Amino acid sequence: MNKLLKLILAFAAFVAGVLWLLSAPEMLSDSAEFARDGDVEKGRDVFYAGGCASCHAAPKAEGEAKLLLTGGREFPSAFGTFYAPNISPNPEFGIGNWSPLDLANAMIKGVSPDGQHYYPAFPYTSYSRVEPADIVDLHAFLNTLPPSSEVNQAHNLPLPFRFRRALGLWKLLYLNDSVVSGDFSRGQYLVEGLGHCAECHTPRTVFGGLKPAKWMSGAPLPEGDGRVPNITPHADGLAHWGVGDFTEYLESGFTPDFDSASGVMVDVIENTSHLSNADRLAIATYLKSLAPIAKP
């Protein structure tokens, strides 16, 4: 009996060791790209394409106040409640002491400067497709914004989900930089990468990963009641929208049905209205080319 127990304990220790190795945070290698000076103007475009203020500005902030990235916005989910952090250039309370490589590791690998996994409430599963050059430019723009001394609020999570190391195993399933379809156009880059549209518009598995087979077909609102709409060109979605309808909506928030954006889409439109006409057209062209999928 003692021999059997020892074998079981040895096997358990072996499995635990393998899982510990598999769940280790993976980080990017330093390169010359991260040593160059970022382009602030290009970084501004990345900032709006990525919707940074929508999550990281203070709740109910408006106008120029949205450039004060204090964090604090609440994100309820099936796994607990997450709070957006302060990402202002305050070196103590924000990310003012981060390097471009630190920001790239956070956005592409979901790893903090001290080697901790970030929860995927931060949409690094989409940002993993973002080019390092854009992140370097974004870093330069963020450093021009006003600093905030707002203290980050701890996430409110039940005990099983407080163990961050397990996120390394989750990333093996759901974190990759592959695109949904082959040709990575500008519109696809903006939608699947920087714009992280699928994070809301695509349903998730029981483990919280996106379902590529149901890409952009709509999903339950994380807050509870209601649904995020199907935006594929299916009869259940936006089949009646043309490319021009999409571009108008992304600029003004007005739909071809004489309605206007509401809820979180108000923030999204505020961001996309800052993009160039060419980028809005690229997004519209990509959305119109999606495979039509019925809502779940």
pLDDT in tens, 120-153: 999 999 999 999 999 999 999 999 999 999 999 9
CA 48 to chain centre: 13
Of the candidates 96, 100, 109, the residue with the CA atom closest to the CA atom of residue 136: 100
Please state the separation of Cα 227 from the chain's center in Å: 19
Nearest to 20 by CA among 169, 163, 159: 169
Question: What is the model's pLDDT at position 6?
Answer: 66
Q: What distance in Å separates the CA atoms of residue 170 and residue 144, rounded to the nearest whole number? A: 35
Dihedral (C-alpha) 87, 90, 92, 98: value to the nearest 10 degrees? Answer: 60
Instruction: State the average pLDDT over residues 47-55.
Output: 96
Spatial CA neighbour of 296 closest among 246, 227, 240: 227
Q: Which fold has domain 180-296?
A: Cytochrome Bc1 Complex; Chain D, domain 2 (1.10.760)
DSSP 8-class letter at 24: S
Predicted confidence (pLDDT) per residue in 222-241, tens digit: 776 789 999 999 999 999 99
Cα separations in angstroms, 272 against 194, 203, 211, 278: 11, 23, 25, 11
Burial class (CB in 10 A: 0-12, 13-18, 19+), 262: exposed
Q: Residue 268 and residue 212: Cα distance in Å, rounded?
A: 22
Task: Give helix then strand counts, H and E, for the chain.
Answer: 12, 4
Residue range 102-129: average pLDDT?
Answer: 97
- pLDDT bin (cut points 50, 70, 90) of residue 183 is low
